[in-house]
Structure 1
Amino acid sequence: MKIVIEFYRIREADDAHAVVGRETAETADLEDAIRLARQLSRTLDMPQRPDVMSITDREGHRLYSGAFDAANNTG
């Protein structure tokens, strides 16, 4: 399935979200997409480390969203 993974930073003062990374990929299923997103959160060159991620399908329907552990950046 074709997916879009977006990585965000969140400003605690007003809950503002800023996209710091976006990748499009082809994965077998949602588990594979989540695994890929976690890997990319550690390896993708982004201006800042993301706080949260979301995975959408090609129509823009949200399939998954989750926060990363601040200590080791794993979702």
Structure 2
Amino acid sequence: MFIIEFFRVREGDGAHATLDRVEHDTADLDDAKVRAQSLFDTLNMPQKPDALRIMDQDGDEVFFWSPKPHGR
């Protein structure tokens, strides 16, 4: 099980504002990456996200992705 988190990144200090979280029930991280990136532009959120991250069942970040660099 993975949690996919979509967020905005504030310019200047890089603070994150979470827009949405989606659970994805798979044991395969590559499958979760494909799902996360496909949802990036299609999921109905209040704002367009700047980036996403995937966390494992323990809450540890296992993947970060953004279509543009954010100083990370």
Tell me the TM-score normalized by structure 1. 0.82
Partner of 1:10: 9
Query: Deviation digits for residues 12-47 of structure 1, max 9, x if unmatched?
Result: 033221001110111241111000001111221101
Give the 4+ runs in structure 1 shifted more than 2 A: none
> Number of paired residues?
69
Query: Deviation digits for residues 32-64 of structure 1, max 9, x if unmatched?
Result: 100000111122110111111110111111110
Normalized per residue, the structure richer in strand is: 1
Q: Which runs of 5+ in 1 are unaligned?
A: 70-75
Measured in 2, the distance between the counterparts of 1:28 and 1:58 equals 10
Question: What is the aligned-residue RMSD (CA, Å)?
Answer: 1.6
Q: Which secondary structure does the structure 2 equivalent of 1:60 belong to?
A: coil
The one-letter code of the counterpart of 2:25 is E
2:49 pairs with 1:50: yes
| Amino-acid identity (%) | 43
The one-letter code of the counterpart of 1:17 is H
Q: Which runs of 5+ in 2 are unaligned?
A: none
2:59 pairs with 1:60: yes
Q: Which secondary structure does the structure 1 equivalent of 2:38 belong to?
A: helix
